[in-house]
A = this chain, B = another copy of it.
Amino acid sequence: MIDETTARDAVVRAADELFYTRGVQAVGMDAVRTAAGVSLKRIYSLFASKDELIVAVLHHRTTIWDAGLATTSERATSARERILAIFDFLDAWFREPDFRGCAFINTHGELGATSSAVADAVREQKRTFQEYVARLVADVGAPAALAPQLAILAEGAQTTAAIAGTPEAAHQARAAAETLIDVAMTGRG
């Protein structure tokens, strides 16, 4: 038998892909079992319920998102570039063939009303992202009010790209971000 950590990881990864592609409620635990290659009995020994698995998947997504953001920002040479790198990261993501919007936003829309655990996990992720943006804004020396504006642009780009099915929202949001940063830095806004 494979060890607990490996099994858990396999289940979360399989569920993540299925949930993201088809939506959470459209995926039965049988499908997760098949995709993960882990028996239902084992899955239910690792997670008390589907709800708990959903939350684990959201946490997994958070890790991936944070890592992707960190990697993209490493290439940036200035604080300003590090902010704009967010939108380059989004652009690359939107172009992936299986891009289907932000999993957190999607899951919140689907289950946020009925599962407070899901709502909490999503809110937590968004809060972390906003804090990340706030740190970058502080680094660049702009007023703190700029941060939520940039975060809203990033959120809006994600839903716009998801619904339209095209990636151009990333560079539109990036252009807006550049304007907002420049204005904030020169005190005009």
Residues of A with Cβ closer than 8 Å to B?
21-23, 25-26, 100-101, 104-114, 119, 122-123, 126-127, 145, 148-149, 151-160, 162-165, 168-169, 172-173, 175-176, 178-180, 182-183, 188-189
Contacts and interface: CB of A to CB of B under 8 A. Distances in A.
Nearest 3 A/B pairs, CB to CB:
A156-B156, A106-B109, A109-B109
Nearest to A111: B23
A18 B151 CA distance: 30
How many protomers of this protein does the assembly include? 2
A172 to B, nearest CB: 4
A23 B123 contact: no
12 contacts: A23-B109, A25-B25, A105-B105, A108-B163, A109-B109, A123-B163, A126-B160, A145-B172, A149-B176, A176-B176, A179-B179, A179-B180
A155 B159 contact: yes
A105 B156 CA distance: 11
A154 B156 contact: yes
